Structures are given as structure tokens and as C-alpha cells.
Amino acid sequence: MTALKAVTALKKARRRMVPVAALAAGAAIALTGCSSGQISQTADQVAAINGNHADVGKIALRNVHIVFPAQGSEYTNAKAGKAIIALSIINNSPSVPDELTSLTTDLGPVKITPAAGKSTVELAPQQTVVAATKPVKAATPATDAHGAAPTSAAPTSAKPGGTEHAAEPAATAEDPEARPILIEITNLSRDITPGLTYNVAFNFKQNGTVQVQVPVDAGATERHESDKSGAAEAEHKGGH
């Protein structure tokens, strides 16, 4: 009688193990399908990285990055050479102006070239200043036949009755990219490498200093894929 009970209990235990094994196998298949064809560390690689951002007081820094050097450019990002920092600087204050006074980094001395016609990097209230990849030269005044610059005069328009008055200047929208500043790191202390970030301090006259970990634009790098990664990525984004 005791032996019969033992055999019956063993059969019941085996029946309970079957659903558990089936569930485990199903989970393993689901996980395999979701990752097949991909290299997990590079599945979300894109052609170029986004810049970093930071805020200090009413000042917002956006898309802060070190520019990847173009072929044949004077900016090499190599030791003893030069590099460019690009970003947008927004003064969100409704009434208080500010000024970018300097940048400091252990990569080397930083030179700031203000916009054409300016001696400082002014940040008017509700204004955006763009640091671009190359400077924009100030326009050279036109000269007359004798080499003298013409005097400026406001255009006039006739009023009823024969009198004349100065015409109102046309309103133009201020485009921050039309008058960019230039930020150069000179005499680099070491090579600047894509994939790494570098500490740079931005110093403002009114809003103080903010430290930013600045990444390097990686240039036109392709996302790493296998011949099956397209279909696998679609399945992965579908909820697996």
C-alpha cells in the first residue's frame, strides 16, 4: 500500500512540472527573438551625437558640442592645434541683459570672437546668440569713384503739400545665425576624441558660471547593423 502511494505521488509531481517547463521555454524564445540580429550596445547609434545643455540663472545653453574637424580645416582637434565649440545661448530674462565674459577649460586657452561690429558678447533680454563653426566678416563699406566712403542718409518721401520727411526704416527680424560669435580652443593640451566629453566652464557677467560636460560631434558615422538588424529592430519596437 505504501509503494502504491509513492508511485501516485511521483506521477502527480511530473504532471505539475510540464507547464513550468513550457513557460520557461516560451520566455526564452521571446527573449531570443527580441535581440536577434542586433548588437545591443550599438542598436541605438545615430549618425551624430546631440550636444549637451545646461542652465544658469536666466541663461540657457543648448546643443553645446565640440565640432568635428572638416578635412583640410585649420581646426584639427589634435594636440597643439585648435578646436571650435558650437552652441546656442539664450537669455530668458524679460528685462536684464547679460554678457558672456569667458570660457575656461583644461583643454587650453579659449578665444572668443564677438559678432561682427561688436566688442563683447552681449546677451540682450529674450535674445539668442549662436556660436557657429566659422566667423562672419563685417561688410566692407562701399566707396565712390574717389575712394571715399559715401555718407549715409535716410531715404525721404514726399508728403502732401510738397514737403519731405525721412522714411521709416523697414522692420527686419533679427536672425542670430546671421551674426554668430566664434569660440576657439587654442594650443590644445591633448587630442580631442569623439565619444568622450570635456569639462568647460561658461562664465557670465550677471548669471555666474556653469560647468558643462561637452561632447564631440562624431561626424558622419554610420549605425552598426547586421543583415538581420532591420527586421529585429522592428520586432523589438513592436513591444517585445
Higher pLDDT, 185 or 116: 185
- Residue pLDDT, tens place only, 207-218: 999 999 999 987
pTM of the predicted model over 0.75: no
- Residue pLDDT, tens place only, 110-129: 999 999 999 999 999 999 99
Rounded to whole angstroms, how far apart are CA atoms 84 and 22? 59
Rounded to whole angstroms, how far apart are CA atoms 99 and 123? 5
Mean pLDDT of 150-159: 43
Q: Which domains does the chain have, with CATH numbers?
A: 53-136+175-215 (2.60.40.1890)
pLDDT reported for residue 170: 38
pLDDT reported for residue 217: 87
Indicate the pLDDT class of residue 11, thresholds 50, 70 and 90. low
Higher pLDDT, 111 or 1: 111
The segment with the largest mean pLDDT, out of 37-41, 140-144, 151-155, 190-194, is 190-194
pLDDT reported for residue 145: 43
pLDDT reported for residue 178: 82
Rounded to whole angstroms, how far apart are CA atoms 74 and 178? 22
